[in-house]
């Protein structure tokens, strides 16, 4: 049984977006990703939900061609009705686990925000993302890193900007969904996929982990890990 109904998930994603994508996240984007993008980059978000991350990119890089993929028509409808001021994104309802509808080497950047943990076996989707990336392109993986139950429950009580959970049973159900991979597990998965990490940013006491990666040997990694409380 899914821990949240679609309407609940949509509300949670909207309510928590600003807290999850704080200044440290965008500093990493500006420091690592932006300097290597061309003037008119092509960028895709897998599991884009209501399109808020794509909209943030649109505001920073209005000349970018953006693609968003999700299985939810409700989410994509919200995304399509955001206040796009220039180029609207190409939004597609599809299951990317069956293939990303992009040509080989089609984009400069692919993001997965709180999405990859849903895959029992994440290597095929990472390989598919690499297929769709241009040589040297960036993979942006921002996801949950497993923590003890007590820390996870406390996170919902004290992390600034997050809504009150209210129903404690819901927090327990979400724990089982979110706490699948540790930071070390993610590193192992990326090594198995032939990826190396250029930057990591921890937030929410290590429960949220941004990992900016690309194919090993494509470029000398920029290095460094940012830790945040």
For the chain, domain boundaries = 6-217
* Best CATH choice for the domain 6-217 from the list 3.90.550.10, 3.40.50.150, 3.50.50.60, 3.30.420.40: 3.40.50.150
What pLDDT, on the 0 to 100 scale, is given for residue 2? 63
Are the C-beta atoms of residues 43 and 57 closer than 8 Å to each other? yes
What pLDDT, on the 0 to 100 scale, is given for residue 46? 98
Phi and psi at 211, nearest 5°, equal -130, 115
Rounded Cα gap, residues 71 and 117, in angstroms: 16
143: Cβ contacts below 8 Å, ≥ 6 apart: 112, 113, 114, 115, 116, 117, 181, 186, 208, 209, 211
What pLDDT, on the 0 to 100 scale, is given for residue 171? 81
pTM (2 d.p.):
0.90
The segments of the chain whose pLDDT lies below 70 read 1-3, 158-167, 219-229
What pLDDT, on the 0 to 100 scale, is given for residue 87? 83
């Amino acid at each position: 049984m899914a821990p949240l109904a679609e309407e609940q998930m949509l509300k949670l994603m909207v309510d928590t977006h600003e807290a999850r994508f704080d200044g440290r996240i965008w500093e990493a984007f500006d420091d690592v990703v932006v300097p290597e993008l061309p003037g008119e980059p092509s960028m895709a978000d897998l599991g884009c939900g209501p399109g808020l991350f794509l909209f943030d990119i649109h505001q920073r890089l209005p000349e970018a061609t953006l693609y968003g993929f999700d299985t939810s028509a409700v989410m994509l409808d919200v995304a399509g009705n955001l206040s796009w001021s220039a180029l609207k994104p190409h939004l597609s309802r599809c299951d990317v686990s069956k293939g990303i509808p992009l040509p080989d080497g089609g984009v400069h950047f692919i993001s997965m925000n709180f999405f990859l943990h849903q895959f029992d076996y994440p290597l095929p989707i990472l390989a598919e993302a690499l297929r769709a990336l241009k040589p040297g392109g960036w993979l942006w993986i921002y996801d949950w890193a497993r923590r003890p139950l007590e820390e996870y429950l406390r996170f919902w009580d004290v992390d600034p900007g997050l809504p009150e959970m209210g129903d404690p049973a819901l927090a327990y159900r979400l724990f089982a969904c979110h706490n699948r991979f540790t930071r070390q597990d993610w590193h192992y998965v990326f090594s198995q996929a032939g990826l190396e990490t250029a930057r990591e940013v921890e937030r929410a006491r290590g429960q949220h982990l941004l990992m900016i990666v690309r194919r090993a040997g494509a470029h000398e990694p920029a290095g460094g890990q940012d830790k945040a409380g």
